[in-house]
Structure 1
Amino acid sequence: MSDDPEPLTAGDARARSLACARRINVCLEAREYNEARHQLAEAKRFALLALKFEQEQAA
């Protein structure tokens, strides 16, 4: 995990998840599978955080 602050909005979280997805592709091309696995976990975390933000806004 990076030293970046946690995203504050659903859009921020989605952008961070998308950035992780892009890094996954780079890692896979470089055959850095452990880092790709880490990025996948981060992408999932940010995607779930975006969903949480969206659900809170809808409530």
Structure 2
Amino acid sequence: MAFKVNTDECINCGACDSECPVECITEVDGHRSIDADACIDCGACAEVCPVDCIAQA
């Protein structure tokens, strides 16, 4: 099950981008988005999110 960004809470800081080992996080409309097909469910993005807006979908 892939991780997902809560777009209402995302502050678009980009902290998750550099932590993703498969580079499946992109910026879309002022927030981050995770490509569910590419996500390997490692959780690295969720661990570094300063506002805890990333969780398993």
The TM-score with structure 1 as length reference comes to 0.30
Higher normalized strand content (fraction of residues): 2
Higher normalized helix content (fraction of residues): 1
Q: Which has the higher contact order (CA 8 A, sep 6+)?
A: 2
The TM-score with structure 2 as length reference comes to 0.31
Q: Greater Rg, structure 1 or structure 2?
A: 1
